[in-house]
Amino acid sequence: MSFDQLNTFILDIPIYIINGLLWLLYAVASVLPALVSMGIAGVMMLVVDDAVQKLASARPLRDGRGGIQTSPKTSQIVTGIVLALWLVAQWGMGAPVPWIGATMWMAGLLAILAVPAQRFTLLNGVKVGIITYALAVIISRIYLAYTSQITPEEWAALLGSADAAAQIIANTRANATTIALWALWLVVPLGYFSMLAQQTFINPVSLTNPFATYEQMLLSLRDRGGR
Protein backbone atom coordinates (compact mmCIF):
# COMPACT_ATOMS: atom_id res chain seq x y z
CA MET A 1 0.00 0.00 0.00
CA SER A 2 1.46 3.33 -1.08
CA PHE A 3 1.57 6.43 1.08
CA ASP A 4 -1.24 8.07 -0.93
CA GLN A 5 -3.50 5.04 -0.52
CA LEU A 6 -2.78 4.92 3.21
CA ASN A 7 -3.47 8.64 3.53
CA THR A 8 -6.77 8.26 1.64
CA PHE A 9 -7.78 5.32 3.83
CA ILE A 10 -7.06 7.27 7.02
CA LEU A 11 -9.04 10.23 5.74
CA ASP A 12 -11.98 7.95 4.84
CA ILE A 13 -12.15 6.33 8.31
CA PRO A 14 -14.45 9.07 9.78
CA ILE A 15 -16.77 8.63 6.78
CA TYR A 16 -16.94 4.87 7.37
CA ILE A 17 -17.67 5.44 11.05
CA ILE A 18 -20.41 8.00 10.33
CA ASN A 19 -22.01 5.74 7.72
CA GLY A 20 -21.96 2.84 10.16
CA LEU A 21 -23.57 4.95 12.89
CA LEU A 22 -26.21 6.19 10.47
CA TRP A 23 -26.97 2.63 9.36
CA LEU A 24 -27.28 1.56 13.00
CA LEU A 25 -29.52 4.55 13.73
CA TYR A 26 -31.80 3.77 10.79
CA ALA A 27 -31.93 0.09 11.77
CA VAL A 28 -32.91 0.92 15.35
CA ALA A 29 -35.45 3.52 14.20
CA SER A 30 -37.12 0.97 11.93
CA VAL A 31 -37.76 -1.42 14.83
CA LEU A 32 -38.16 1.18 17.57
CA PRO A 33 -41.98 0.87 17.75
CA ALA A 34 -41.64 -2.89 18.21
CA LEU A 35 -38.99 -2.38 20.91
CA VAL A 36 -41.25 0.11 22.70
CA SER A 37 -44.17 -2.34 22.53
CA MET A 38 -41.99 -5.14 23.88
CA GLY A 39 -40.73 -2.97 26.73
CA ILE A 40 -44.23 -1.85 27.73
CA ALA A 41 -45.51 -5.44 27.54
CA GLY A 42 -42.62 -6.57 29.73
CA VAL A 43 -43.44 -3.96 32.37
CA MET A 44 -47.10 -4.97 32.17
CA MET A 45 -46.19 -8.62 32.78
CA LEU A 46 -43.89 -7.87 35.71
CA VAL A 47 -46.01 -5.24 37.44
CA VAL A 48 -49.68 -5.41 36.46
CA ASP A 49 -50.16 -9.03 35.39
CA ASP A 50 -48.22 -10.32 38.39
CA ALA A 51 -50.28 -8.32 40.89
CA VAL A 52 -53.59 -9.17 39.24
CA GLN A 53 -52.70 -12.86 38.97
CA LYS A 54 -51.67 -13.06 42.63
CA LEU A 55 -54.88 -11.39 43.75
CA ALA A 56 -57.03 -13.62 41.54
CA SER A 57 -55.31 -16.83 42.69
CA ALA A 58 -55.22 -16.05 46.43
CA ARG A 59 -57.37 -18.34 48.60
CA PRO A 60 -57.86 -17.09 52.19
CA LEU A 61 -58.30 -19.64 54.98
CA ARG A 62 -60.85 -19.44 57.77
CA ASP A 63 -60.44 -17.83 61.17
CA GLY A 64 -57.63 -15.56 60.05
CA ARG A 65 -55.16 -18.41 59.55
CA GLY A 66 -53.60 -16.83 56.48
CA GLY A 67 -54.19 -18.01 52.95
CA ILE A 68 -53.12 -20.23 50.11
CA GLN A 69 -51.31 -18.59 47.22
CA THR A 70 -51.13 -20.42 43.92
CA SER A 71 -48.92 -19.10 41.16
CA PRO A 72 -50.38 -19.63 37.68
CA LYS A 73 -49.12 -17.37 34.91
CA THR A 74 -52.34 -17.09 32.92
CA SER A 75 -52.38 -13.30 32.76
CA GLN A 76 -48.72 -13.11 31.73
CA ILE A 77 -49.24 -15.77 29.06
CA VAL A 78 -52.18 -13.85 27.60
CA THR A 79 -50.07 -10.68 27.48
CA GLY A 80 -47.32 -12.61 25.71
CA ILE A 81 -49.79 -13.92 23.13
CA VAL A 82 -51.15 -10.40 22.54
CA LEU A 83 -47.60 -9.07 22.13
CA ALA A 84 -46.64 -11.85 19.68
CA LEU A 85 -49.76 -11.21 17.59
CA TRP A 86 -49.07 -7.49 17.51
CA LEU A 87 -45.40 -7.98 16.51
CA VAL A 88 -46.49 -10.22 13.63
CA ALA A 89 -49.15 -7.71 12.55
CA GLN A 90 -46.89 -4.65 12.54
CA TRP A 91 -43.83 -6.34 11.03
CA GLY A 92 -42.91 -4.56 7.81
CA MET A 93 -45.67 -1.96 8.14
CA GLY A 94 -44.83 1.64 7.49
CA ALA A 95 -45.64 4.53 9.78
CA PRO A 96 -47.86 5.39 11.49
CA VAL A 97 -49.37 1.95 12.22
CA PRO A 98 -46.45 0.59 14.32
CA TRP A 99 -46.32 3.80 16.33
CA ILE A 100 -50.08 3.79 16.84
CA GLY A 101 -49.80 0.29 18.30
CA ALA A 102 -46.88 1.29 20.53
CA THR A 103 -48.91 4.28 21.74
CA MET A 104 -51.83 1.96 22.51
CA TRP A 105 -49.55 -0.21 24.67
CA MET A 106 -48.15 2.83 26.47
CA ALA A 107 -51.52 4.52 27.05
CA GLY A 108 -52.99 1.26 28.32
CA LEU A 109 -50.23 0.76 30.88
CA LEU A 110 -50.43 4.36 32.07
CA ALA A 111 -54.22 4.10 32.48
CA ILE A 112 -53.88 0.90 34.52
CA LEU A 113 -51.21 2.40 36.78
CA ALA A 114 -53.16 5.64 37.19
CA VAL A 115 -56.41 3.92 38.22
CA PRO A 116 -55.55 0.78 40.24
CA ALA A 117 -59.19 0.35 41.25
CA GLN A 118 -60.06 -0.37 37.60
CA ARG A 119 -57.02 -2.50 36.81
CA PHE A 120 -58.95 -5.72 36.15
CA THR A 121 -61.31 -4.08 33.67
CA LEU A 122 -58.63 -1.89 32.11
CA LEU A 123 -56.15 -4.75 31.74
CA ASN A 124 -58.71 -6.87 29.92
CA GLY A 125 -59.80 -3.92 27.77
CA VAL A 126 -56.22 -3.09 26.81
CA LYS A 127 -55.50 -6.64 25.67
CA VAL A 128 -58.78 -6.95 23.75
CA GLY A 129 -58.21 -3.56 22.11
CA ILE A 130 -54.68 -4.41 20.96
CA ILE A 131 -55.80 -7.82 19.68
CA THR A 132 -58.59 -6.11 17.73
CA TYR A 133 -56.15 -3.64 16.20
CA ALA A 134 -53.63 -6.38 15.35
CA LEU A 135 -56.32 -8.46 13.64
CA ALA A 136 -57.52 -5.41 11.71
CA VAL A 137 -53.97 -4.82 10.48
CA ILE A 138 -53.51 -8.47 9.48
CA ILE A 139 -56.86 -8.71 7.67
CA SER A 140 -56.28 -5.47 5.77
CA ARG A 141 -52.80 -6.59 4.70
CA ILE A 142 -54.08 -9.97 3.52
CA TYR A 143 -56.93 -8.38 1.56
CA LEU A 144 -54.74 -5.77 -0.11
CA ALA A 145 -52.10 -8.37 -0.96
CA TYR A 146 -54.76 -10.64 -2.46
CA THR A 147 -56.37 -7.95 -4.57
CA SER A 148 -52.99 -6.83 -5.88
CA GLN A 149 -52.50 -10.29 -7.42
CA ILE A 150 -55.82 -10.32 -9.30
CA THR A 151 -55.35 -9.70 -13.03
CA PRO A 152 -57.99 -8.11 -15.29
CA GLU A 153 -58.00 -11.23 -17.46
CA GLU A 154 -59.26 -13.30 -14.52
CA TRP A 155 -62.33 -11.06 -14.22
CA ALA A 156 -62.84 -10.39 -17.91
CA ALA A 157 -65.24 -13.32 -18.33
CA LEU A 158 -67.54 -11.88 -15.64
CA LEU A 159 -67.18 -8.17 -16.38
CA GLY A 160 -67.17 -8.21 -20.17
CA SER A 161 -63.70 -7.01 -21.07
CA ALA A 162 -60.22 -6.73 -19.64
CA ASP A 163 -60.37 -2.92 -19.75
CA ALA A 164 -63.62 -2.81 -17.76
CA ALA A 165 -62.23 -5.36 -15.30
CA ALA A 166 -59.03 -3.35 -14.85
CA GLN A 167 -61.01 -0.19 -14.11
CA ILE A 168 -63.31 -1.94 -11.61
CA ILE A 169 -60.40 -3.65 -9.85
CA ALA A 170 -58.51 -0.35 -9.60
CA ASN A 171 -61.54 1.46 -8.17
CA THR A 172 -62.29 -1.35 -5.74
CA ARG A 173 -58.72 -1.49 -4.53
CA ALA A 174 -58.60 2.28 -4.10
CA ASN A 175 -61.83 2.25 -2.07
CA ALA A 176 -60.67 -0.70 0.04
CA THR A 177 -57.33 1.00 0.70
CA THR A 178 -59.09 4.19 1.78
CA ILE A 179 -61.38 2.29 4.16
CA ALA A 180 -58.44 0.33 5.58
CA LEU A 181 -56.45 3.50 6.19
CA TRP A 182 -59.38 5.18 7.92
CA ALA A 183 -59.89 2.09 10.09
CA LEU A 184 -56.22 1.62 11.00
CA TRP A 185 -55.31 5.27 11.42
CA LEU A 186 -58.45 6.60 13.10
CA VAL A 187 -61.49 4.39 13.75
CA VAL A 188 -59.98 1.47 15.70
CA PRO A 189 -57.46 3.60 17.67
CA LEU A 190 -60.15 6.16 18.48
CA GLY A 191 -62.42 3.42 19.79
CA TYR A 192 -59.57 2.04 21.90
CA PHE A 193 -58.65 5.39 23.45
CA SER A 194 -62.34 6.16 24.04
CA MET A 195 -62.63 2.88 25.96
CA LEU A 196 -59.60 3.79 28.07
CA ALA A 197 -61.03 7.21 28.88
CA GLN A 198 -64.43 5.76 29.77
CA GLN A 199 -63.01 3.09 32.05
CA THR A 200 -60.56 5.52 33.65
CA PHE A 201 -63.22 8.06 34.61
CA ILE A 202 -66.20 5.73 35.07
CA ASN A 203 -66.03 6.16 38.87
CA PRO A 204 -65.38 9.34 40.87
CA VAL A 205 -61.78 9.79 41.94
CA SER A 206 -61.13 9.30 45.63
CA LEU A 207 -60.33 12.63 47.27
CA THR A 208 -58.30 11.04 50.07
CA ASN A 209 -56.27 8.45 48.12
CA PRO A 210 -56.73 8.68 44.34
CA PHE A 211 -54.41 5.74 43.66
CA ALA A 212 -55.98 3.33 46.13
CA THR A 213 -57.30 -0.04 45.00
CA TYR A 214 -60.70 -1.36 46.00
CA GLU A 215 -59.02 -3.64 48.55
CA GLN A 216 -57.30 -0.67 50.18
CA MET A 217 -60.55 1.32 50.22
CA LEU A 218 -62.43 -1.53 51.90
CA LEU A 219 -59.64 -2.08 54.41
CA SER A 220 -59.66 1.60 55.28
CA LEU A 221 -63.43 1.51 55.86
CA ARG A 222 -63.25 -1.63 58.00
CA ASP A 223 -60.59 -0.36 60.39
CA ARG A 224 -61.93 3.23 60.23
CA GLY A 225 -58.72 4.56 58.79
CA GLY A 226 -56.57 2.90 61.45
CA ARG A 227 -58.32 4.60 64.38
Instruction: State mean pLDDT over 161-165.
Output: 64
- Residue 129: the pLDDT is 96
CA distance 140 to 142: 5
Asked whether the predicted pLDDT for residue 222 surpasses 70, the reply is no
59 close to 128: Cβ distance less than 8 angstroms:
no
Provide the mean pLDDT of the chain.
79
Please report the pLDDT score of residue 8 as a whole number.
Answer: 72
36-75 burial by CB neighbour count: b if 16+ within 10 A, else e? bbbebbeebbeebbebbbeeeeeeeeeeeeeeeeeeeeeb
Q: Are 45 and 80 in contact (CB under 8 A)?
A: yes
State the pLDDT confidence band at 13, using cuts at 50, 70 and 90.
confident
For residues 12-27, b (16+ Cβ closer than 10 Å) or e, as one string? eeeeeeeeeeeeeeee
Give residue 51's pLDDT band: very low, low, confident or very high (50, 70, 90).
confident
Question: Which among 30, 179, 173, 40 has a CA at the least distance from the CA of 113?
Answer: 40
Q: Which pLDDT band holds residue 146 (cuts at 50, 70, 90)? A: confident
Determine the pLDDT at residue 116. Answer: 81
Alpha-carbon distance of 184 to 86, in angstroms, equals: 13
N residues, the chain:
227
Whether residue 214 has pLDDT greater than 90: no
Report the candidate in 42, 217, 196 with the shortest Cα–Cα distance to residue 119. 196
Flag whether pLDDT at 77 surpasses 90: yes
Q: What type of residue sits at position 186?
A: L
